[in-house]
Amino acid sequence: MALNVGCAARPGKARKNKTGSWRVFRPVFESEQCTKCGMCALVCPEGCVIETEEGEFVPDYEYCKGCGICAEVCPKKGIRMEQEEK
Amino acid sequence: MAEHVAGCELFESGHRACGGCGPALAARLLLNATGENAIVVASTGCMEVFSTPYPETAWKVPWIHSLFENAAAVASGIEASLKRQGRSEKVLCVCGDGATFDIGVLCISGAFERGHDITYICYDNEAYMNTGIQRSGATPYDASTTTSPAGACSTGNQRPKKDMPAILAAHGAPYVATASISYPQDFMKKVEKALNTPGPCYIQVHAPCCTGWGFEAGETLNIGKLAIETGMWVNFEMENGEVTKVKKVKRKPVEEYLSRQKRFRHLFKPQRRDAEIAKIQAIADRNAEKYGIDIKKKE
């Protein structure tokens, strides 16, 4: 971050910081098993599980840190954690 | 409840909390419940640091941070000014357990005594996590932290957890509640109730910290649930000093909660310390008796 006179920087937002690069395990959502209860979206600490217009829940991999809370909380066990290959 | 619009989070993605952070989830749920018409006053702490590194912010509501100790005083001033102007914004303090139990007690006591219409949310992760896990007044008995390390001469933190809800209820607060991020709907309901209660209200939300307590990131909600199921944490509501609602459970032994966290590892390895585990079980038993959380079997 470049600093100007007086060390003042232009206001920014957290969304600039793509935390998806932190991920070691990637949650894979299997939509066949989904009952659309929405628990995964409710308990995601990043708020990065998004409901699509069709009512399906998908993770935003740009921000998902791969903590696995969604996989633990899913009542149908329809979320699989897979190791990232980079 | 404020209408939740997908993709329009008031607490945005991209903050720098650890994966599986309990307090980050608490902040999200909190803003889901308050909606846009809120002003947040934060104290120094993990949440302040991970959500607002200069010049960025994850908060989409007005947010202010002054010092570690004075969040309640700043909120008092904002509330008084809004009242004078006839405005409807709700003022919230969002502070950690260090700021609430230790450093900020003077300002909180003042704000509650003066009866400002604020809602004080303490996210309780049971130590100073941001600076590297030092013990606070909220750290439970026998937890190992960097300033209460367990070893040959010590079994970890030697003091029990301070009963902060009781202290604030004694100030005559109209609404005092405890909640847990493991029960998100319950937490959001309590926040709404506090916002709609005139006068100073206090909610202490249990927010497990995977880094500080030592468990896998995905386990955050399970650990919070176990705390309630073992009686180590009690979810209750207190109105005008009287306990009006308590979450009842079929209690499990505290061991199930302790053995899953690194901060209590010294109680099981290298050898089991039954005497210490019994002391912690006694704390849970006292909680159970005080609040009547046990589901009684029908005879």
Residue A17 located in a structural domain:
no
Residue A41 located in a structural domain:
yes
Residue B9 located in a structural domain:
no
The two tokens of residue B266 are 């010294």
Q: Mean pLDDT across the stretch B198-213?
A: 95
Interface mutation target, options B13, B16, B47, B183, chain A, most CBs of A under 10 Å: B13
- CATH code: domain of residue A52: 3.30.70.20
Residue A27 located in a structural domain:
no
The two tokens of residue B59 are 């908060």
The two tokens of residue B62 are 């007005």
Residue B241 located in a structural domain:
yes
Residue A22 located in a structural domain:
no
Residue B299 located in a structural domain:
no
> If pLDDT is split at 50, 70 and 90, which confidence band does B299 have?
low
Residues B70-97: tens digit of each pLDDT: 999 999 999 999 999 999 999 999 999 9
Report the residue of chain B nearest A48, measured CA to CA: B13
Residue reference for tokens 């395990």: A25
d(CA B137, CA B120) in angstroms, rounded, equals: 17
Q: Mean pLDDT across the stretch B99-112?
A: 94
- CATH code: domain of residue B126: 3.40.50.970
Is the peptide bond prior to B23 cis by the omega test (within 30 degrees of 0)? no
Residues B106-144: tens digit of each pLDDT: 999 999 999 999 999 999 999 999 999 999 999 999 999
Q: Are strands B38-42 and B63-65 parallel, antiparallel or unpaired?
A: parallel
Residue A60 located in a structural domain:
yes
Residue B13, SS3?
Answer: coil
> If pLDDT is split at 50, 70 and 90, which confidence band does B239 have?
very high
CA of B174 vs chain A CAs: smallest distance (Å): 29
The ipTM estimated for the assembled molecules is 0.91
- Chain B residues in contact with A81 by the CB 8 A cut-off are 218
CA of B5 vs chain A CAs: smallest distance (Å): 9
Amino acid identity at A77: K
Residue B14 located in a structural domain:
no
CB pair distance less than 8 Å for B57 and A46:
no
Residue B13 located in a structural domain:
no
Domain span at residue A85 reads 35-86
Domain span at residue B162 reads 22-291
b (16+ CB within 10 A) / e for A48-65: bbbbeeeeebebbeebbb
Residue B101 pLDDT more than 90?
A: yes
At B4 the pLDDT is 47
The kind and range of the H/E element at A71 are helix A69-73
Residue B3 located in a structural domain:
no
Count of domains observed in chain B: 1
CB pair distance less than 8 Å for A47 and B9:
yes
Residue A18 located in a structural domain:
no
Residues of chain A with pLDDT under 50: none
Residue B5 located in a structural domain:
no
Residue A42 located in a structural domain:
yes
At B2 the pLDDT is 41
At B1 the pLDDT is 39
Residue B12 located in a structural domain:
no
Residue B203 bridge partners (DSSP): B121, B177
Count of domains observed in chain A: 1
